[in-house]
Amino acid sequence: MKGGFAGVTTEALRALAAALDGGRLAPPYPPISLQRFLAPPATDAASAGLAAFAEGGFGPSQIAHILRLIAAERENTMRATDRAELVWSGPELPGATSRDTAVVARELFASARRTVLVSSYAVYQGKRVLGALAENLDRTPDLRVRLLLNVHRQYGDIRADSELTREFAEKFQSEMWPGRRLPEVFYDPRALSRDPGPRACLHAKCVIVDSEVAFVTSANFTEAAHERNIEAGVLLRSVPLAQALTAQFETLIGRGALRRLAGVRATEPS
């Protein structure tokens, strides 16, 4: 029966397991019911696999346990050289083995259990590109989400930093974030400098999930970057690397180099 999940990633297997445990998936598991967690054609393969387990007499909690075992087996047998995966946006090329940026981002967001850290220079169509993350934050009380975003001063804008950050916070809550619970948002205050000499921007684009998986990409969190632009990235299933990248950002936060956006009242995990 494991063959039915050949096209489903380990992150997606865990997302399905969590949905089964939480009662958000129930027999007979048609493909349309899986679209919140997977992208076609993986929905068809997963639907067939789930249906086969159900026909074998397995209940949702039992299937969830099996899916986690399959995911763990894959990771345990994966060679170190196979832990890096090419992720791509743009024209599809014949014979290409890369995965789609939008699909990878959605799967990472849906599979997170403890923490998500997202860094992006730009966010447009946020309610679309961050939708899976917002849904997971709403349904997972213990999940902690941190967004590191570039809050900058436009050329010729002489308003106070506090006014610019307040404006960004209001726009974030009304236009960028679709969920009920809010994430923590941080920014680099140097991007607000009126003096171009010390001005800098937060330009890193990456996602880190549960300090276990890191996705580093040229793509911002915009619909164009995820679906149309030519963008390249790499998905790394490496705990040491994910932890090291997390530590880089957390150190900047701890030292005050990245500041929390006060106008966004994040809901702390329970």
The 10s digit of each residue's pLDDT in 148-199 is 999 999 888 889 999 999 999 999 999 999 999 999 999 999 999 999 888 8
Residues 188 and 202: beta-carbon distance below 8 Å: yes
Q: Where in the chain is the domain with CATH 3.30.870.10?
A: 82-260
Nearest Cα residue to 13 out of 5, 3, 21: 5
Contact 245, 206 (CB under 8 A): yes
Q: Based on the number of CB atoms within 10 Å of its own CB, is 235 exposed (0-12), middle (13-18) or buried (19 or more)? A: buried
Strands 206-209 and 184-187: unpaired
Q: What is the pLDDT of residues 201-250, one digit of tens each?
A: 999 999 999 999 999 999 998 888 888 899 999 999 888 899 999 999 99
Threshold 0.85, pTM exceeds: no
Residue 18 in contact with residue 143, Cβ under 8 Å? no
Pick the more confident residue, 163 or 26.
163
How many C-beta atoms lie closer than 10 Å to residue 179's C-beta? 18
pLDDT > 80? residue 68: yes
The three-class DSSP label of residue 37 is: coil
- pLDDT per position as a tens digit, 104-151: 999 999 999 999 999 999 998 889 999 999 999 999 999 999 999 999
Q: How far is 42 from 104, CA to CA, in rounded Å?
A: 12
How far from 154 is each of 22, 61, 121, 200, CA to CA, in Å?
45, 52, 14, 13
**CA Rg value for the chain:** 20
Pairwise CA distance, residues 34 & 66, whole Å:
17
Strands 115-120 and 144-149: parallel
Helix crossing, 10-21 with 60-77: angle to 10°?
Answer: 160
What's the DSSP call for residue 173? I
Q: Which amino acid is at 153?
A: R
Number of other CB atoms surrounding residue 66 within 10 Å: 19
Q: Residue 29 to residues 5, 24, 34, 42, 148: CA-CA distances in angstroms?
A: 14, 11, 7, 13, 37
Asked if 124 and 261 count as a contact pair (C-beta separation under 8 A), the reply is no
Instruction: Reduce the DSSP state of residue 232 to 3 states and report it.
Output: strand
Domain spanning 82-260 has what CATH number? 3.30.870.10
Dmax over CA atoms of the chain, in Å, equals: 68
